[in-house]
Amino acid sequence: MDLNNFILEEERKYPNATGSLSRALVALESATKVIASHVRMAGLVDVLGKAGKTNIQGEEVQKLDELANDILIQYLSKSGEFFALASEELDEPIFPEEGKDAKYIIAFDPLDGSSNIDVNISIGTIFSIHKRVNSDVSDFLQEGYKQVAAGYVIYGSSTMFVLSTGNGVNGFTLDPSVGMYLLSHPNMKIPEKGKIYSINESNDKKWIDKGLKEYVESLKDEGYTSRYIGSMVADVHRTLIKGGIFAYPADVKSKNGKLRLLYEASPMAFLITQAGGYATTGKEDILSIKPNDIHQRVPVFLGGKYEIEKLKEFLKDG
């Protein structure tokens, strides 16, 4: 089954559905196909390297970052299905004229892992969709459990669209011969216990949570292996499929954590929990956090039941 038909089938399960979410997801699907085509050509056309500017996060913008952001804004705005768009790359949300009567808002990271672009490591697009409530910027300050859809697209050895509309998680692989996302990973479930931990251990002396280092050592004692790519989409994708834990904790440099709640932590937490896993900051459920700013940062721990429950014991003791 292709993604379009899957979306329509999901819609038929809800008699009161209006079709606007389906059209919104189709616009997102179209945009990511265009981004995928540019990623595949990255070494042949002038989209590698830095754009010569920094974003609201203080990070250097890559050329492909900027291109992906422009493509998403264009497709999502013109769809007329989004009242507002918030991008990790922009200071403030955009309110498209075409979406003045729309029912949804969307937050997205146009190209996660962009520092890996030039070395041909998997990167991705992350998105989070909520219902329009107050018709202003406060619509983005809703808890993660209120998301109506979330997902990511990973541009790697193949391009894969991973989606949840609150009824489990499904993965669709792009078949370039027909230009369609085809259902390749139905009803994805994270293993309750894995064998891999994913964290940047070079920062262990800077970690704020004292029990975290002991936790990592305990995983090693159990025979866990370390795998860390440095691209959240790639690391979380592996964790979703193979199990284990992905962690980006707070440290003395980033005391509130480094990953953005709206654009990264919340949508990934939604997917992991829909797949049977757990998502926490170490102190609270990520999906229960009410944002206070559209660029708020939080510590992130995503994983299987065993790894997260064990983590909480170590952090509690620490």
Instruction: Read off the pLDDT of residues 184-234 as tens digits, 9 standing for 90 and up.
Output: 999 999 999 999 999 999 999 999 998 999 999 999 999 999 999 999 999
Angle between helices 3-12 and 20-40 (to 10 degrees): 160
Distance CA 190, CA 275 (A): 6
Q: Which of 85, 80, 70, 76 is nearest to 35 (CA)?
A: 70
Query: What phi, psi does 78 have (nearest 5°)?
Result: -70, -20
Tell me 303's DSSP state: E
55 pLDDT exceeds 70?
Answer: no
8 Å CB contact between 120 and 101: no
| 61 torsion bin: left (phi>0), alpha (psi -120 to 50), beta (else) | beta
Work out the pLDDT band at 88, boundaries 50, 70, 90.
Answer: very high
Q: Which of 292, 10, 248 is nearest to 151 (CA)?
A: 10
Query: What phi, psi does 50 have (nearest 5°)?
Result: -90, 150
What is the pLDDT of the chain when averaged over all its residues? 91
**Residues tagged in the binding site annotation:** 88, 109, 111-115, 200, 228, 258, 264
Q: Measuring CA to CA, how many Å separate 213 from each of 67, 202, 222, 278?
A: 39, 11, 15, 20
For 240-261, the pLDDT digits (tens) are 999 999 999 999 999 999 999 9
- Between strands 259-260 and 225-226, the pairing is unpaired
Work out the pLDDT band at 173, boundaries 50, 70, 90.
Answer: very high
Residue with tokens 């829909």: 274
**Residues tagged in the binding site annotation for substrate:** 112-115, 200, 228, 258
**Residues tagged in the binding site annotation for Mg(2+):** 88, 109, 111-112, 264
pLDDT (mean) for 70-74: 96
Q: Exposed, middle or buried: residue 74 (CB in 10 Å: 0-12, 13-18, 19+)?
A: middle
Domains of the chain, each with CATH number or no CATH:
3-186 (3.30.540.10), 196-316 (3.40.190.80)
8 Å CB contact between 122 and 156: yes
Work out the pLDDT band at 18, boundaries 50, 70, 90.
Answer: low
Written in H, E and C, the secondary structure of 152-221 is EEEECCCEEEEEECCCCCEEEEEECCCCEEEEEECCCCCCCCCCEEECCHHHHHHECCCHHHHHHHHHHH
Distance CA 269, CA 233 (A): 12
52 pLDDT exceeds 70?
Answer: no
* Contacts with 290 (C-beta within 8 Å, 6 or more apart), sequence order: 141, 142, 143
Q: What is the pLDDT of residue 178?
A: 93
Q: What's the gap between Cα 245 and its chain centre?
A: 15
pLDDT above 70: percentage of residues in the chain:
91
SS3 label, residue 109: strand
